[in-house]
Amino acid sequence: VDAVYTGGPLTVAVAFDSTPTSVSNVGGSATGKTTAWKVEGGYDLGVASVHAALIGANLSGTPFGSDKDNGYALSVKVPAGKWTMSAGFGSVSTSGDDLNQKTTAMGVQGLYAFNGNFTGYVGYRTYTTTQDVGGAETKNTKLGMGLTFSY
């Protein structure tokens, strides 16, 4: 179930989902439930657009136990002539019987509109996942660039 409101420069959206979950493994099978929700909003300030989101999810009743996710995301987009620059940051924490970790991510992107059909892009993204037990970290970084064609 979701709902979206758009009025002038403001956009607000909410969503909720609840789904039965069936899991089978060597130790047996179980039926549980996954629920998820999201609340997000954006505002166009004219010189920039800002966006924020809150998310959550719960998994229960499986042989693996229960997990709970909570997170947020923030972003900004700034058009400047043929350029559009954007940046974002987000974080999600997972806690439960089989997994306890936190992931944070950030990214920046630049788009350049050569004309009505060709847009060049360059982007950088990095994230870090930290396990609560033992503090082990996984890091990943990507740089991308290219050209898109729309017709």
- pLDDT-derived band at 24, boundaries 50, 70, 90: low
- pLDDT-derived band at 44, boundaries 50, 70, 90: very high
pLDDT digits (tens, 9 = 90+) for 75-131: 999 999 999 999 999 999 988 876 789 999 999 999 999 998 999 999 999 999 998
Taking CA atoms, 81 is separated from 6, 9, 109, 111, 114, in Å, by 26, 20, 15, 11, 11
Contact 108, 126 (CB under 8 A): no
Q: Which residues contact 9 (CB under 8 A, 6 or more apart)?
A: 43, 44, 45, 46
Q: Report how far residue 148's alpha carbon sits from residue 109's, in angstroms, rounded to the nearest whole number.
A: 14
Q: Report how far residue 106's alpha carbon sits from residue 125's, in angstroms, rounded to the nearest whole number.
A: 6
Q: Residue range 130-149: average pLDDT?
A: 90
Q: Which residues contact 144 (CB under 8 A, 6 or more apart)?
A: 121, 122, 123, 124, 125
Per the prediction, the chain carries an average pLDDT of 90
Q: Report how far residue 90's alpha carbon sits from residue 109's, in angstroms, rounded to the nearest whole number.
A: 15
Q: Report how far residue 76's alpha carbon sits from residue 114's, in angstroms, rounded to the nearest whole number.
A: 22
pLDDT at res. 96: 80
Q: Which two tokens stand for residue 132?
A: 């609560």
Is the pLDDT at 57 greater than 70, yes or no? Answer: yes
Contact 129, 109 (CB under 8 A): no
Q: Report how far residue 83's alpha carbon sits from residue 68's, in angstroms, rounded to the nearest whole number.
A: 39
Is the pLDDT at 67 greater than 90, yes or no? Answer: no
pLDDT digits (tens, 9 = 90+) for 72-85: 999 999 999 999 99
